[in-house]
């Protein structure tokens, strides 16, 4: 698998060829509990690092998923829209949320590697 990076807000990002796949971490989905609804952004939307992009709702709470870097939404995971529990089953796999085209790859250097994220959630 490609190199996975993490944010302090519990998103993961995998970049391949200038396109990033983004989702929430296993830790985040465990904190949220069973997801019942996911509100996705529009394809074509330009997003800025730190901006709320997706809303995930569980039986416990609603939470924002933030853009890990600047870019443009190029795809959303329709399977998760139809079945939000995919995020609970496979948060860092089939339960990815959206794909984006990066506008500034240098922003990736501010993200955490697996060891850094593990230390954060400890």
Range of the domain at 51: 4-110
List the one residue out of 33, 19, 22, 25 whose CA is nearest residue 84: 33
Report pLDDT for 106: 95
pLDDT in tens, 38-67: 999 999 999 999 999 999 999 988 999 999
First to last CA, the chain: 23
Which residues of the chain register pLDDT less than 50?
1
Answer yes or no: is 103 within a domain.
yes
User: How far is residue 42's CA from residue 13's CA, in Å, rounded to a whole number?
Assistant: 19
Residue 77 near residue 97, CB atoms below 8 Å: yes
Answer whether residue 120 is part of any domain.
Answer: no
Q: In this structure, how many other beta carbons lie within 10 angstroms of the beta carbon of residue 87?
A: 28
- What pLDDT was estimated at residue 51? 97
Question: What integer pLDDT is reported at residue 2 of this predicted model?
Answer: 64
- pLDDT on residue 1: 46
Count: domains in the chain: 1
**Residue 95's CB: how many other CB atoms inside 10 A?**
23
116, part of any domain: no
CATH number at residue 46: 2.40.50.100
Q: Give CB contacts under 8 A, 24+ apart, made by 76-79.
A: 76/40, 76/41, 76/43, 77/40
Round to whole Å and give the CA distance between 29 and 107.
25
């Amino acid at each position: 698998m490609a190199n996975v990076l993490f944010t302090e807000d519990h998103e993961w990002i995998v970049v391949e060829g200038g396109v990033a796949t983004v989702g929430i971490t296993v830790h985040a989905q465990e904190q949220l509990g069973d997801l019942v609804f996911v509100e996705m952004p529009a394809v074509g939307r330009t997003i800025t690092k730190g901006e709320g992009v997706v809303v995930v709702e569980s039986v416990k709470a609603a939470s924002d998923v933030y853009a890990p870097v600047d870019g443009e939404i190029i795809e959303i995971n329709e399977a998760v829209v139809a079945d939000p529990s995919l995020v609970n089953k496979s948060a860092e796999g089939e339960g990815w949320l959206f794909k984006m085209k990066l506008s500034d790859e240098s922003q990736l250097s501010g993200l955490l590697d697996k060891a850094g994220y593990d230390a954060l959630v400890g």
